[in-house]
């Protein structure tokens, strides 16, 4: 058993409990991917088997059917309250990646999310982003306050010392809380293996291809792989040189694409 995973697990549980204690109206963003799956498992550990807040899924209508089926089955198994958010106006107007990938992300994901935050009045939102995913996420705080429009002031973030998270904010501030910020992609898979947690089957290789990162069907590519089990994926990640999000088309649109999306409230 890896003691580094113990340290990460304890840190994450501490953060989850802190968020639950500090924000009376808290929710967790559930993207159906491996990182959210680990985050939910950690939350069930933190709260002794319960999920004492709703799971929010932002549905762009472009997700793989296997993802939606997995979502519905697992939320039932966990006894979780699932809230599905959709930017109906943009969907009705025919928004899709053909109108520009970044515009589509902004409309269907960022706006879908901010509409949901406004409607439900969530003060805290738990997100499973990780520092090793890409450069702008490497700069994140664990408790990351957002402005009225969910904007991220990445050039002037508050200090964050030890586990004394900043929780005194002006009325109306919404805070993104990142319980697994310090985990790497490899840690996620090692933990899934150790805890025997079920994940979406799209991650496992079929016909020589697998998804390394899950997103919307038109903008998410597969990698060549024969890794068909969690253990085989761990072995593959130890030698792979390409970055994790190489198959995510929106990241590749232009320089600083992710920084610009995230400054406006993207996850």
Report the interface residues with another protein, using CB under 8 A. Answer: 1-4, 6-7, 9-10, 13-14, 17-18, 20-21, 44-50, 131-132, 134-136, 138-139, 141, 154-155, 157-162, 164, 168, 182, 184, 241-243, 246, 255-256, 259
* Shortest Cβ 161–another protein spacing (Å): 4
Nearer of residues 82 and 246 to another protein, judged by Cβ: 246
Nearer of residues 39 and 90 to another protein, judged by Cβ: 39
Nearer of residues 60 and 250 to another protein, judged by Cβ: 250
Nearer of residues 164 and 173 to another protein, judged by Cβ: 164
Residues 193-208 as b or e (16 or more Cβ within 10 Å = b): eeeebebbebbbbeee
Q: What is the rounded CA–CA span in Å between residue 267 and residue 262?
A: 6
User: Can you say how many angstroms the Cα of residue 10 is from the centroid of all Cα atoms in its chain?
Assistant: 19
Distances in Å between the Cα of 232 and the Cα atoms of 194, 210, 213, 226, 238 are 14, 12, 16, 8, 10
* Shortest Cβ 134–another protein spacing (Å): 8
* Shortest Cβ 66–another protein spacing (Å): 26
Q: What is the rounded CA–CA span in Å between residue 23 and residue 122?
A: 8
Distances in Å between the Cα of 48 and the Cα atoms of 10, 13, 27, 44, 120 are 14, 11, 17, 6, 26
* Shortest Cβ 71–another protein spacing (Å): 22
């Amino acid at each position: 058993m890896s003691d580094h995973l113990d340290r990460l697990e304890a840190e994450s549980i501490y953060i989850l409990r802190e968020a639950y204690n500090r924000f009376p109206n808290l929710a967790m963003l559930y993207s159906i991917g491996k990182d959210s799956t680990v985050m939910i498992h950690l939350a069930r550990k933190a709260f002794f088997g319960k999920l004492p807040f709703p799971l929010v899924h932002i549905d762009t209508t472009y997700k793989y059917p296997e993802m939606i089926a997995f979502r519905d089955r697992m939320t039932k198994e966990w006894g979780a309250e699932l809230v599905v958010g959709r930017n109906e106006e943009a969907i009705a107007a025919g928004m899709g990646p053909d109108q520009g990938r970044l515009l589509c992300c902004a409309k269907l994901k960022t706006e879908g999310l901010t509409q949901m935050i406004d409607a439900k009045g969530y003060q805290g939102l738990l997100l499973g982003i990780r520092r090793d995913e890409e450069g702008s996420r490497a700069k994140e705080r664990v408790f990351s306050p957002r402005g009225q429009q969910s904007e991220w002031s990445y050039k002037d973030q508050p200090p964050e010392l030890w586990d004394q998270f900043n929780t005194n904010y002006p009325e109306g501030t919404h805070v993104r809380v990142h319980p697994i910020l310090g985990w790497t992609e490899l840690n996620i898979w090692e933990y899934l293996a150790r805890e025997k947690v079920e994940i979406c089957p799209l991650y496992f290789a079929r016909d020589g291809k697998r998804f390394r990162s899950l997103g919307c069907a038109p903008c998410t590519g597969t990698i060549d792989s024969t890794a068909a089990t969690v253990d085989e994926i761990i072995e593959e990640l130890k030698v792979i040189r390409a970055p994790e999000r190489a198959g995510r088309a929106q990241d590749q649109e232009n320089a600083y694409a992710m920084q610009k999306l995230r400054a406006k409230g993207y996850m």
